[in-house]
Amino acid sequence: MRNLAAALALASLCACYPGTTAGHNPLGDVDANGIGGSVDGGGDGGGPDGGDAGTDAGADAGCVPLALNGVGAIDACQGAVQNGTASVAVADAGNGCTVGITTTTGMSCNGAASGGSNNAFSGTCNAMPCISASLPGTIICSTGNTPCTIRICDAGVCGP
């Protein structure tokens, strides 16, 4: 009986204490869950973004379309060094930045470009794994223990 009396006394005290009823609450308004806070959701959490982080990524997030035909090529991946010409095609980012290269020396390369306007290349040339920091540029292929190169020039015949 003593416990029942204590529980009723505690309930009466809580019902009359400010802030535990719908009356005045010194801690602020009470939301629908009974937890102190603002009924409007707490106000604005800040600006719409973190501000400007600089220039947008733009093309460096993918590749830049490129079409070269009849440019100089020096192929050192098929035995003796051979001079020839090459055709290079880099598709836009919407088409996967795919790369296709063919040379008059018999080399055929396929892969993907990245690095924006550099059009860095990663793929295969005549089944050899190859990379390049840029197209046009020097493609380095792995032939096992010794790498070889295919140089794609940016205009006409390759210089020295």
Domain coordinates of the chain in residue numbers?
1-43, 59-152
Q: Residues 87, 104: contact at Cβ < 8 Å? A: no
Q: Residues 149, 140: contact at Cβ < 8 Å? A: yes
As to burial, measured by CB atoms within 10 angstroms (0-12 exposed, 13-18 middle, 19+ buried), residue 101 is buried
> What is the mean predicted confidence (pLDDT) over 131-159?
89
Position 58 scores a pLDDT of: 42
Total-model pTM: 0.61
Residue 140 has pLDDT above 90, yes or no: yes
Least confident of 8-17, 20-29, 125-134: 8-17
